[in-house]
Amino acid sequence: MKTKIIKINPNKPEISKIKTAAKILKQGGLVAFPTDTVYGLGADAFNVYAVKKIFQVKKRLTNKPLIILIANKKTVYKLAKNVSINAKKLINKFWPGPLTIVFKKSKIVPEIITGNLDTVGIRMPDNKIALNLIKEAKTPIVTTSANISGKLSPTCSRHVKQNLNGKIDMIIDGGKTKIGVASTIVDLTKNIPILLRPGSITLKQLKKI
């Protein structure tokens, strides 16, 4: 497969280019794109065939769940079952931004995404290319870092190319990512919130909220 590489202005994304990438996603293709944290590899969250391809090209074990990126806070109510008061507080404070929240999943979230768990990780990224792409695709985008499993998470398109060239449909070059480390992950499905992965949002910041 030939991987198309297109440059998009991270400050003012060219909408025609975003539409081209969104069309690929809608047709079941895979697109790598910048987020605020690291580059993500995305697919239409409701296209099981496309989601399977993510596991294949990354050589990722199928029991390791993927997260879903959304462009509108309200989408969380479609994908998650119980959005607690704590969750709402964290969403209001940290979205869009580098915080992934794990919720009980709603029925519409395919099990292939969650590794058969009844929970789902959701985040709204703070990056214009990512947000516009999700909006134009008109569907939540299942995402994971755009690297082969076990390799470093890519912070520029050149690193994505080294990992995935020839294996995915498109790489969007939107420059270096702002934060450079993967999102903080907090699980809100238990009685006590659990920090699953440290990131740029610290435990201290979370505790404060």
Stretch of 19-27, 84-92, 116-124, 127-135 contacting ligand AMP, by CB under 6 A: 116-124
Nearer to Mg ion, 139 or 145 (CB): 145
Query: Which of ligand AMP, Mg ion, none lies near 6, with the C-beta cut-off 5 to 8 A by kind?
Result: none
Q: Label the pairing between strands 184-187 and 67-69.
A: unpaired
- Least separation in angstroms between residue 103's CB and ligand AMP is 8
- Least separation in angstroms between residue 168's CB and ligand AMP is 15
- Least separation in angstroms between residue 161's CB and ligand AMP is 18
CB 25 within 8 A of CB 139: yes
Stretch of 46-54, 113-121, 127-135, 158-166 contacting ligand AMP, by CB under 6 A: 113-121
CB 81 within 8 A of CB 106: yes
* Six token digits for residue 28: 């079941």
Q: Which DSSP state fits 26?
A: H
Nearer to ligand AMP, 18 or 188 (CB): 188
Residue appearing with tokens 């099990």: 111
Q: Of 47, 127, 145, 163, which lies in the binding site for ligand AMP, with binding defined by CB under 6 A?
A: 145
The yes or no reply on residue 114 touching ligand AMP (CB under 6 A) is yes
* Six token digits for residue 88: 């709402």
Instruction: Give Dmax over CA atoms of the chain in angstroms.
Output: 48
Total residues binding ligand AMP (CB under 6 A): 16
- Least separation in angstroms between residue 68's CB and ligand AMP is 9
CB 177 within 8 A of CB 39: yes
Q: Of 35, 119, 127, 163, which lies in the binding site for ligand AMP, with binding defined by CB under 6 A?
A: 119
Q: Which residues make Cβ contacts (< 8 Å) with residue 94, sequence separation at least 6? A: 201, 209
- The CA angle 168-173-178, to the nearest 5 degrees, is 120
Distance from C-alpha of 87 to C-alpha of 186, rounded to nearest angstrom: 10
- Least separation in angstroms between residue 121's CB and ligand AMP is 3
Binding site for ligand AMP (CB under 6 A): 64-67, 102, 114, 117, 119-121, 144-145, 182, 185, 196-197
